[in-house]
């Protein structure tokens, strides 16, 4: 059963929102059966590093917008953050039950080449799944969510993982440089044991060049602020959410929490007020003060945060903006608090490290050209065929456990190190297993964007397998033998003109304090 | 298996000046070392019946020495085995003689590192583009130091001070080696204050990046006295390779290397050495980093396992100690042109056995040992040389 679709008349909408004359919305009244589709699990990822906006302001002699923004480490991008959010979401979920992975981002690391397949590989998902990349629009996060919902509604897939991530670049010195943040969010859409049902949605397309980035641009462009906010963001959000509330017979007082995408600290509040919502009690914190505006990931991130605090029966409103708007109405079920294991938004917010300078941020994002390193000092060659053959070890972090003597080795070895049994092993995943530092070095010769390079050996709890890897998100002064570590998917280097991904180890995040980095 | 003992003699050796040889090409270094060896042995280039050349990455194929030395109509083979490469040239030359096919052969090892623009050594291993990303040679060996400190309950200062004594000793010996890269004393304090290269190893814990070449003329042991009155005999050569990167090896303790122990055992068995601490009179070992020399003491049986540091404290391995090690300054002061190093370690033992080591001469030398350790590390070679045919 597909969703029932109807089209509103332009004149009724124009009266409703008061400012628009040429709008049309697509809405869905969902059937009772379809309304059992919802969010089964949710997860988030916010990078460890936060940059005080005062540091950006100080670098440019500009005014600080206050608070801080998240900054992806030099080895992170939208794909690696998506993997982290998805792992947070799937903590305790049987991955063989997942029938699809939809990835949404305006900052996918490839123009040509899918990222959903890469993320699915890193997550060790089955290969007979739907994969799709939703790109370009700030609204792509909710676009992907609605597509996943439709696929689950129709029976095309039992459960689909939607993951959105963004790491957008504001022009150096621009307001956006301060406002943007890097983050990812993931929701698992299905019909069993849902935490919140998706009851209805309205979507609205609006062709407008308010915020854009051409295929040749690195930094986000925008037209005059007042027009962008009034005619773009506010008008679209009010229009779309208003239609949804009216159609569903929902009044402002019925909404427990509204998770509204916002490009700045005040935008969401203005929309909330216009809809009759109390920004102080009914509006989900936009996280702009602590994380920033996270593009395609923002609405889902706020939804994940809202679910962390929701009670059974709460009605939740989610809306995202970008070339129009999407608005969804959800109801938290009695399962809403069921055994959450991941860190979620709040866990990631609490685990942070202050980035000491703007220059570090600029270096991480490649805004400052650094002296090239002598080629022979760092391994920067690669090969598509090598990575492809070794994908189970490199992307899935699989080792081999000998069926004869039980020795576990990473990477996968055809011949056992101990008993030399040939081609007689079982692959085991080390990605989610706790580990600890066995030995390490703090290397100033290896170069890189954030020396010293912390490299060494961690020992996984899975069969005491040793993993030779770089360590990241760590304070070199805090490194010690036996330090508890967890594995994290990161971008390694650009050998063979590809992004080469692999796993690193990082100190267990909850153990990190708020020291400077 | 037969032993190599007393089947092969070294009758001539030569070595180039080691250092940052901006003035010299690979060819110049090879000529410098080979012609000293020819002269030392009293042979002409035309007397050479076969040759082996070792280089990690400064050249390929036999032409690497055929070209500069104008060697004609003889088999020449390039060998490579990481930092053991120079020893590999010596070993293959010795095997060529022992096979009975040749009477007089040449072994050359060299490396021209200062044409690469590289201020420090990478690992050179091309096994995998991602597992080893960010790996450097100091990093691999720093892993050993971190673990050794941990196992002994040492803090950074205790551990680094212990290692500094190795650097001080080798730099002191280097002051008496005119062809060494460095002729300069260092103090413990200087070593501790040196910039960190790969923690816990600082600049003065690391061997330099050096250009150089070394060469040896080998012959059948029964012909040796016809070349010179004081030939040096090969008593045994052991070589061992450990499978898998140490970083990935399950259960590995990271404070010693089986390749070292196995290569030593092979060489001791061939040479009939039962108690190396007592029987070996002088040794040159692979001190690519100070920590490496410490674990080599233990792996080669000079010190009990885990107690090499006690012998450092006791001065056992100084020029005046019971078992002088790296009398020529070692890799630390002499330098480490990778393919040359094995032959350089043999050169020092050869001179010590002949009593021609000048101010660094050890008294009553009859049996000497030279050793190299390669890579991450996974490859080791131990050669034992003596000055009398048993």
Give the separation between CA A138 and CA A213, rounded to whole angstroms: 11
B336 is catalytic: yes
Q: Say if the Cβ atoms of B143 and A441 lie within 8 Å.
A: yes
Is some CB atom of chain A closer than 8 A to the CB atom of B250? yes
* CB pairs A-B closer than 8 Å: 145
Chain B residues touching A390 at Cβ < 8 A: 128
Q: How confident is the model at residue A14 (pLDDT cuts 50, 70, 90)?
A: very low
Catalytic residue (choose from B171, B181, B336, B371) = B336
**What is the pLDDT at residue B129?**
65
Distances (CA, A) of B93 to B82, B87, B100: 18, 10, 11
Give the separation between CA A304 and CA A318, rounded to whole angstroms: 10
Q: Say if the Cβ atoms of B126 and A381 lie within 8 Å.
A: yes
What b-and-e string marks burial along A475-493, b requiring 16 or more CB atoms within 10 Å of the CB?
ebeebeeebebbbbbbbbb
Instruction: Assign A424 to helix, strand or coil.
Output: coil
What b-and-e string marks burial along A287-305, b requiring 16 or more CB atoms within 10 Å of the CB?
bbebbbbbbbbbbbbbbbb
Of B346, B379, B370, B339, whose CA–CA distance to B78 is shortest?
B339
Q: Tokens for A498? A: 């590809």
Q: Say if the Cβ atoms of A387 and B250 lie within 8 Å.
A: no
Q: Say if the Cβ atoms of B136 and A445 lie within 8 Å.
A: yes
Is some CB atom of chain A closer than 8 A to the CB atom of B232? no
**What is the pLDDT at residue A516?**
35
User: Which sequence spans correspond to the domains of chain B?
Assistant: 8-116+209-219
Cis status, amide bond into B390, omega within 30 of 0: no
Chain B residues touching A467 at Cβ < 8 A: 248
Which one is predicted more confidently, A149 or A8? A149
Give the separation between CA A198 and CA A152, rounded to whole angstroms: 12
**What is the pLDDT at residue A376?**
47
Of A72, A107, A108, A104, whose CA–CA distance to A86 is shortest?
A104
Q: Say if the Cβ atoms of A441 and B129 lie within 8 Å.
A: no
DSSP per residue over B230-299, as a string? S-EEEEEEEEEE-SS-TTT-TT--SSS-HHHHHHHHHHHHHHT-S-HHHH--EEE---SBHHHHHHHHHH
From the list A408, A441, A466, which residue is nearest B199 (CB)?
Answer: A441
Where would I find the beta strands (DSSP E) of A228-354?
Answer: 257-260, 315-321, 324-332, 353-354
Give the separation between CA A104 and CA A498, rounded to whole angstroms: 21
B83 is catalytic: yes
Burial class (CB in 10 A: 0-12, 13-18, 19+), A440: buried
pLDDT in tens, A438-473: 999 999 888 888 899 999 999 999 999 999 999 999
Is some CB atom of chain A closer than 8 A to the CB atom of B290? no
pLDDT in tens, A348-360: 999 999 998 999 9
Is some CB atom of chain B closer than 8 A to the CB atom of A446? yes
- Give me the tens of pLDDT residue by residue for chain B, a chain 390 residues long: 889 999 999 999 999 999 999 999 999 999 999 999 999 999 999 999 999 999 999 999 999 999 999 999 999 999 999 999 999 999 999 999 999 999 999 999 999 999 877 766 654 444 566 677 778 889 999 999 999 999 999 999 999 999 999 999 999 999 999 999 999 999 999 999 999 999 999 999 999 999 999 999 999 999 999 999 999 999 999 999 999 999 999 999 999 999 999 999 999 999 999 999 999 999 999 999 999 999 999 999 999 999 999 999 999 999 999 999 999 999 999 999 999 999 999 999 999 999 999 999 999 999 999 999 998 899 999 999 999 997
Sequence-distant (6+) residues with CB within 8 A of A80 are A72, A488, A489, A490, A491, A501
The answer, yes or no, to whether residue A73 has pLDDT greater than 60, is yes
Considering the domain A4-361 in this protein, what is its CATH number? 3.40.47.10
pLDDT in tens, A219-253: 999 999 999 999 999 999 999 999 999 999 999 99
Signed CA dihedral, A269, A272, A273, A274: sign only: positive
Chain B residues touching A493 at Cβ < 8 A: 133
Dmax (CA) of chain A: 79
Dihedral (C-alpha) B110, B113, B114, B116: value to the nearest 10 degrees?
140
User: Which sequence spans correspond to the domains of chain A?
Assistant: 4-361, 376-508
For residues A300 and A142, the answer to whether their CB atoms sit within 8 Å is yes
Q: Tokens for B314? A: 């006791």
Considering the domain B8-116+209-219 in this protein, what is its CATH number? 3.40.47.10
- How far B296 CA sits from the closest chain A CA (Å)? 19
**What is the pLDDT at residue A8?**
39
Signed CA dihedral, A204, A208, A212, A215: sign only: positive
Within 370-399 of A, beta carbons closer than 8 Å to B belong to 374, 376-383, 386-387, 390, 394
**What is the pLDDT at residue B54?**
98
> Parallel, antiparallel, or unpaired: how do β-strands A221-222 and A398-402 relate?
unpaired
Q: How confident is the model at residue A2 (pLDDT cuts 50, 70, 90)?
A: very low
Chain B residues touching A457 at Cβ < 8 A: 143, 247-248, 254
The answer, yes or no, to whether residue A413 has pLDDT greater than 90, is yes
Give the separation between CA A179 and CA A171, rounded to whole angstroms: 11
**What is the pLDDT at residue B122?**
59
ipTM of the complex: 0.89
């Amino acid at each position: 059963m597909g969703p029932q679709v109807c089209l509103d008349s332009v004149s009724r909408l124009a009266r409703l929102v008061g400012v628009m004359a040429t709008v049309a919305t697509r809405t869905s009244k969902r059937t009772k059966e379809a309304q059992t589709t919802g969010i089964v699990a949710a997860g988030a990822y916010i990078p460890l590093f936060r940059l005080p906006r005062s540091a950006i302001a100080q670098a440019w002699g500009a005014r600080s917008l206050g608070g801080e923004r998240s900054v992806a480490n030099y080895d992170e991008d939208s794909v690696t953050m998506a993997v982290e959010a998805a792992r947070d979401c799937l903590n305790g979920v049987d991955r063989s039950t997942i029938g699809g992975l939809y990835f949404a981002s305006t900052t996918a690391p490839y123009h040509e080449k899918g990222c959903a397949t890469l993320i699915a590989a890193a997550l060790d998902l089955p290969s007979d799944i739907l994969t799709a990349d939703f790109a370009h629009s700030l609204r792509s996060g909710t676009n992907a969510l609605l597509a996943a919902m439709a696929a689950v509604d129709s029976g095309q897939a039992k459960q689909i993982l939607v993951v959105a991530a963004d790491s957008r670049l504001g022009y150096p010195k621009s307001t956006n440089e301060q406002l943007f943040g890097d983050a990812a969010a993931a929701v698992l859409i299905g019909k069993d044991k849902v935490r919140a049902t998706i009851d209805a949605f309205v979507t609205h397309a609006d062709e407008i060049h308010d915020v854009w980035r051409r295929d040749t641009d690195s930094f986000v462009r925008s037209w005059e602020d007042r027009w962008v906010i009034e005619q773009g963001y506010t008008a679209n959000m009010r229009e779309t959410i208003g239609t949804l509330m009216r159609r569903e017979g929902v009044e402002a007082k019925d909404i427990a929490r509204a998770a509204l995408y916002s490009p700045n600290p005040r935008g969401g509040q203005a929309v909330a007020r216009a809809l009759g919502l109390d920004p102080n009690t009914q509006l989900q914190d936009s996280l702009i003060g602590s994380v920033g505006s996270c593009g395609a990931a923002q609405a889902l991130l706020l939804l994940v945060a809202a679910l962390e605090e929701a009670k059974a029966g709460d009605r939740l409103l989610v809306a995202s903006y970008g070339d129009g708007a999407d608005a969804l109405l959800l109801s938290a079920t009695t399962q809403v608090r069921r055994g959450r294991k991941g860190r979620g938004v709040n866990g990631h917010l609490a685990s942070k490290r202050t980035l000491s300078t703007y220059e570090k941020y600029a270096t991480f994002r490649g805004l400052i050209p650094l002296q090239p390193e002598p080629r022979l000092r760092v391994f920067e060659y690669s090969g598509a065929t090598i990575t492809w053959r070794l994908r189970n070890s490199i992307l899935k972090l699989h080792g081999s456990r000998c069926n004869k003597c039980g020795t576990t080795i990473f990477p996968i070895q055809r011949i056992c190190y101990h008993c030399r049994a040939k081609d007689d092993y079982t692959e085991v995943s080390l990605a989610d297993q706790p580990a600890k530092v066995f030995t390490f070095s703090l290397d100033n010769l290896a170069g890189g964007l954030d020396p010293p390079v912390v490299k060494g050996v961690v020992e996984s709890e899975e069969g005491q397998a040793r993993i030779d890897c770089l360590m990241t998100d760590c304070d070199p002064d805090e490194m010690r033998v036996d330090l508890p570590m967890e594995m994290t998917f990161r971008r390694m280097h650009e050998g063979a003109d590809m992004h080469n991904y692999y796993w690193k180890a990082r100190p267990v995040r909850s153990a990190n304090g708020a020291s400077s980095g | 298996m037969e032993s190599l003992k007393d089947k092969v003699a070294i009758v001539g050796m030569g070595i180039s000046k080691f250092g940052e040889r901006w003035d010299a090409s690979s060819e110049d270094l090879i000529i410098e070392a080979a012609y000293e060896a020819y002269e030392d042995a009293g042979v002409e280039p035309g007397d050479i019946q076969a040759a082996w050349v070792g280089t990690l990455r400064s050249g390929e194929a036999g032409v690497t020495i055929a070209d500069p030395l104008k060697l004609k109509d003889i088999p020449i083979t390039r060998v490579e085995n990481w930092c053991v490469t120079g020893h590999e040239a010596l070993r293959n030359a010795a095997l060529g003689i022992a096979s009975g096919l040749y009477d007089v052969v040449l072994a050359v090892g060299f490396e021209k590192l200062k044409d690469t623009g590289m201020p420090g050594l990478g690992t050179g291993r091309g096994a995998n583009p991602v597992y080893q990303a960010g790996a450097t040679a100091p990093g691999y060996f720093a892993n050993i130091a971190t673990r050794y400190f941990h196992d002994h309950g040492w803090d950074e200062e205790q551990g680094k001070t212990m290692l500094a004594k190795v650097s001080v000793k080798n730099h002191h010996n280097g002051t008496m080696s005119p062809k060494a890269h460095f002729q300069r004393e260092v103090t413990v304090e200087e070593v501790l204050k040196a910039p960190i290269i790969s923690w816990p190893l600082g600049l003065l814990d690391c061997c330099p990046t050096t250009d150089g070449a070394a060469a040896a003329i080998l012959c059948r042991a029964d012909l040796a006295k016809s070349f010179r009155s004081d030939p040096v005999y090969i008593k045994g050569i052991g070589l061992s390779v450990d499978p898998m990167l140490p970083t990935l090896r399950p259960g590995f303790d990271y404070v010693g290397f089986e390749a070292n122990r196995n290569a030593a055992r092979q060489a001791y068995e061939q040479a009939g050495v039962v108690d190396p601490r007592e029987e070996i009179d002088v040794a040159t070992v692979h001190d690519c980093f100070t920590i490496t020399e410490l674990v080599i003491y233990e792996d080669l049986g000079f010190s009990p396992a885990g107690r090499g540091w006690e012998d450092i404290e006791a001065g056992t391995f100084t020029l005046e100690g019971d078992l002088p090690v790296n009398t020529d300054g070692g890799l630390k002061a002499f330098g480490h042109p990778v393919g040359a190093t094995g032959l350089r370690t043999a050169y020092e033992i050869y001179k010590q056995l002949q009593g021609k080591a000048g101010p660094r001469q050890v008294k009553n030398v009859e049996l000497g040992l030279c050793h190299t350790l390669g890579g991450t590390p996974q490859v080791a070679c131990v050669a034992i040389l003596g000055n009398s045919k048993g």
